[in-house]
Amino acid sequence: MAKAKRKPAKAPQPKAPKKKSMKLFYSPIHGFIHKVLVVAHEAGLWDDIEFVPIYPMRDGYSVAAINPLHKVPTLALKDGTVLYGSQTIAEYLDTVGKTKKKLYPKNGPARWDALRRLALADTMFEVTVTMTLEKGEVPMRASVFSWYWPKVERALDQMEKDAAKFKGFDIGQASTLHALSYLDRQCGRGLKPPVPENYNWRKGRPKLTAWWNKALKRPSVTSHFNKDFVGPDTPEFAAAQVAEVLAAQGKKGTSRTPQKVDYHYLG
Ligand SMILES: N[C@@H](CCC(=O)N[C@@H](CS)C(=O)NCC(=O)O)C(=O)O
């Protein structure tokens, strides 16, 4: 009797890798602890993330098409929603995280203290990034002005798109007022090329301009915008106030020598 031909066993097929629900564009720098990676891990989301290396200072890498600021980290969700600003990303991951323990405490002193420490460390980090750019030793593509200016223009274009959908008034709008008014002031005083002389962001951005003109009427803006400060503003007054705070903390005098810097150019 002829032997029945055995069907050759099918080699186990590798399963198509599951589509991750988010993509995190970030710089995997050796020796650098990423806040958003820490949060992603703590939140139990590690396996839901496609990690996408971006080296923003090297040729060929760009996230400008999805993030006008061309900065990492940038997080893209499955539905195309893009979040940027590590603070936004971190809070998002913490919120949608699978673990019970949250890194953002609920309202109350613990939350404000955590947010204060977040701002402290993040600002220190950004200052260090700017110093690194300024050093210009590593392969730099441009000066700080030519590197940053396209970010500003792209951010303004994004604001124009966002302004069409602005509803009510929120922290995003408050910070848009903050950024635009500062840009106006500094462009009026002159920056450096390629920033155009007397640059006016309103040109070609009718929606943002209309929103701006309306927002300027908010009492929260008229309360201080374009008004001179009225009240004591001497260094002595400030020092006395600081001393009061220190006293309230049970300390005497200042613990550090004040830095002697001419801050006028920043005004
Ligand atoms: N405020 C941003 C700052 C991020 C940031 O400065 N990232 C640097 C890491 S090197 C970057 O992308 N720099 C590229 C650039 O400034 O063009 C955040 O917290 O996400």
Residue segments in the chain with a per-residue pLDDT below the cut of 50: 1, 255, 263-265, 267
Strands 74-77 and 49-53: unpaired
Q: What is the pLDDT of residue 1?
A: 46
DSSP single-letter state for residue 265: G
Q: How far is the CA of 126 from the centre of ligand 1 (A)?
A: 7
Which part of the chain is CATH 3.40.30.10? Answer: 22-101+227-248
Interval between CA 82 and ligand 1 midpoint (Å): 15
Q: How far is the CA of 70 from the centre of ligand 1 (A)?
A: 8
Closest residue by Cα to atom 2, ligand 1, is 85
pTM of the model: 0.81
Query: CA-to-CA distance for 107 and 239, rounded, in angstroms?
Result: 32
122: Cβ below 6 Å to ligand 1?
A: yes
Nearest atom in ligand 1 to the alpha carbon of residue 56 is 14
Q: Does domain 22-101+227-248 have CATH number 3.40.30.10?
A: yes
Distance 29 CA to ligand 1 centre (A): 13
Ranges in the chain annotated CATH 1.20.1050.10: 109-222
Shortest-distance Cα residue to atom 14 of ligand 1: 71
Is the CB of residue 129 below 6 angstroms from any atom belonging to ligand 1? Answer: yes
Regarding the beta carbon of 205 and ligand 1, being less than 6 Å apart is answered no
Can you tell me whether residue 5 is helix, strand or coil? coil
The domain made up of 109-222 is a member of CATH 1.20.1050.10: yes
Can the peptide bond before residue 73 be classed as cis, meaning omega within 30 degrees of 0? yes
State if residue 24 touches ligand 1 by the CB under 6 angstroms criterion.
Answer: no
C-beta separation of 26 from 36 below 8 A: yes
Beta carbons within 8 Å of 160's beta carbon, 6+ residues apart: 204, 205, 206, 207, 208
62 Cα–ligand 1 center, Å: 12
pLDDT of 8:
65
List the beta strands (DSSP E) in the chain: 22-26, 49-53, 74-77, 82-84
| CA 90 – CA 59 distance, rounded (Å) | 27
**pLDDT value, residue 76:** 96
Instruction: Tell how far the Cα of 110 is from the centroid of ligand 1, in angstroms.
Output: 27
- The token duo for 5 is 């031909």
Ligand 1 centroid distance, CA of 140 (Å): 15
Query: In the prediction, which pLDDT does 256 show?
Result: 55
Closest CA to 37 of 103, 81, 100, 101: 103
Closest protein CA for atom 16 of ligand 1: 71
Tell me if 68 CB under 6 Å of ligand 1.
no
What's the pLDDT at 7? 66
